[in-house]
Amino acid sequence: MSTPLRIGVAGLGTIGGGTVKLLVQNADLLAARCGRPVTLAAVAEPNRNRNPGVNMDGVTWYEDAMALVDSDVDVVVELIGGSGGIALKLCQAALARGKHVVTANKALIAHHGTELARAAEGAGVVLNYEAAVGGGIPIIKALREGMVGNGFARVYGILNGTCNYILTTMRETGREFADVLREAQELGYAEADPSFDVDGVDTAHKLAILASVAFGCEVDFQAVHVEGIRQISAEDIQFADELGYRIKLLGVASRTDGGVEQRVHPCMVDKKAPIASVEGVFNAVVAEGDFVDTTMYVGRGAGERPTASAVVGDIGDIARGLRVPTFGVAAGSLARLPTRPMSEHTGAYYVRLTVVDKPGVFADIAGALRDHQVSMESVLQRGRDPGEPVSVVMTLHETVEADMTAALAKIEASPAVVEPPHMIRIEEF
């Protein structure tokens, strides 16, 4: 019989528990498909009450994750979480000892991916992280292996199921953000502290990783422009529907003549665009390759079972002897590409204003737009209420972000504008 591949799992939370279950329950299937046994040899978890509910006979239990480094496991699976601390220390030590590393930790890879990839390459071992982006969607393998012959101009997607659930529910029910967020927390779709999700940080971590794989560049989380969904109102969603759009929190990475543009923010997308139909907790990633054209991948982006599936997929690759560079090219060849600043972004815009309904207001708004070379496409106003605040919505033709921002600053300074203008970018797919 072939030599077993011995696995050590650090962290028995939701994903760790699911990974252990899959390794134990589907051991025969894995052995048949990988050509050798894949054996759960050890776990590391300080809380002994976190037993995943499967037969752990013969599995060594450590309370200290660092003990895995000195154990006889071949693969260390880091499922502790966090961009630094024990997770980073464990991965660094495991790679230095010549052990393969598999992780679902998107923050770790976004902040330290380039460094860890170089360490893995230097040690002649593998660093795999499929589960860090898109949960059960095999998007890293698709970009890195399935479309290895393609140059990519753009990769984008819905990368956070919590935000997609909130925006979907707001549209379906007409309720406001805060109300739907509370419901999402009660259902377990949002954390007690939802900041990483709703403020766009989680999406930004994943986008930085996708950009590195797509463009062969160093992971640069600091270069990502990040906005969340807290400011999206039920009124915005209603206006979007009237204009023929859906609002989605997207991560978009593009390779342009001015450098790599990485941005996370709410977007209005045409209802007819395939990504507009991805609802609820589902994720979707779209890649635009020069030969394959446009491909889209949809699936559950989080949860015990989908994420464990991706983790074990990475383990299976190691068991089969598959060796692929961490980000698609040798770590020493990862490029340092220039960053295209958000001020240079060009696109169309939606703007919602709350203004006092009186003569001359539109003339002032039009003047501010004209002075900054911004062209108006359409205007919507529901009803009239002379002397009182009303909502006015404009869509603007494609323009440069810096000009749009300057025009909105001038509009905001008008005494007839009673709230800061609210802007959402319109994406053409």
Q: How many helices (H) and strands (E) does the chain have?
A: 13, 16
**Strand, helix or coil at 220?**
coil
**pLDDT tens digits, residue range 233-291?**
999 999 999 999 999 999 999 999 989 999 999 999 999 999 999 999 999 999 999 99
Least confident of 3-12, 47-56, 145-154, 292-301: 47-56
**pLDDT tens digits, residue range 363-414?**
889 999 999 999 999 998 876 677 788 899 999 999 999 999 999 999 999 9
CB 253 within 8 A of CB 261: yes
The structural architecture, per CATH, of the domain 5-132 is 3-Layer(aba) Sandwich (3.40)
pTM, to two decimals: 0.96
Enumerate the active-site residues.
Answer: 206
What topology is assigned to 139-300 in CATH?
Dihydrodipicolinate Reductase; domain 2 (3.30.360)
Residues whose CB is less than 8 angstroms from the CB of residue 425 and which lie 6 or more positions away in sequence, other chains included: 265, 266, 267, 268, 345, 347, 348, 349, 350
**Strand, helix or coil at 225?**
strand
Q: Where are the domains of the chain?
A: 5-132, 139-300, 343-427
CB 120 within 8 A of CB 126: yes
**pLDDT tens digits, residue range 174-202?**
999 999 999 999 988 899 999 999 999 99
In 10 A of CB 285, how many CB atoms? 28
Mean pLDDT of the chain: 96
In CATH, the number for domain 343-427 is 3.30.70.260
Fold identical between 139-300 and 343-427? no
Taking residues 52-70, report their average pLDDT: 95
DSSP 8-state assignment for residue 146:
I
CB 408 within 8 A of CB 421: yes
